[in-house]
Amino acid sequence: MINEFNFKKCAKCGALVEVLKDCTCENCGIVCCGEKLVDVELNSKDFSVEKHLPEWEVKDNTIFVTVNHVMEEDHYIEWIACYNKSGKVVKYLKPGQEAKVSFEYEKDSTILSYCNKHGLWYVEV
Ligand SMILES: [Fe+2]
């Protein structure tokens, strides 16, 4: 299980950054479009949980993941990722595709999905 994620987003352009080591300067921070990036909340209660939480099933040493979410031009799941002790694998999606991917199974994996409007969602496998 991965306990800590640190994603930041540009409030202006929507750029998304996974921070491996954050800036600790007093009045500094990671900047995009002239402003500090803002923290991305995980599994926000403000948006529909059932449409964003990845559903998963393990079969034949593979994790099959589905996110029951629209895949429209302006609102879709941009990517689904699997984090575990071996590292991470990210599968990128496009509007019109189904939000279905698979990963090699490893014990204590974490699945993240990213909705371009509603942020990051994760489940433990
Ligand atoms: Fe969404």
Q: Quote the ligand 1 centre to 60 CA distance (angstroms).
A: 30
Read off the pTM: 0.89
Q: Quote the ligand 1 centre to 29 CA distance (angstroms).
A: 27
Q: Quote the ligand 1 centre to 119 CA distance (angstroms).
A: 7
Q: Quote the ligand 1 centre to 13 CA distance (angstroms).
A: 17
For CA atoms 10, 11, 15, 20, give the dihedral sign: positive
Q: Quote the ligand 1 centre to 23 CA distance (angstroms).
A: 29
pLDDT of residue 3: 56
Could you tell me the CA-to-CA distances from 46 to 17, 55, 125 in Å, in that order?
22, 19, 24
Distance CA 71, CA 98 (A): 7
**Who's near 107: CB < 8 A, 6+ residues apart?**
84
Q: How many residues does the chain have?
A: 125
pLDDT of residue 122: 93
Note down pLDDT in tens along the chain; length 125 residues.
455 789 999 999 999 999 998 888 888 889 999 999 999 988 887 778 778 999 999 999 999 999 999 999 999 999 999 999 999 999 999 999 999 999 999 999 999 999 999 999 999 99
Domains of the chain: 1-40 (no CATH), 41-124 (2.60.40.730)
pLDDT of residue 45: 78
| 112 contacts 4 by C-beta, under 8 angstroms | no
pLDDT of residue 15: 94
**Cα three-residue angle 33-71-57, rounded to 5 degrees:** 110
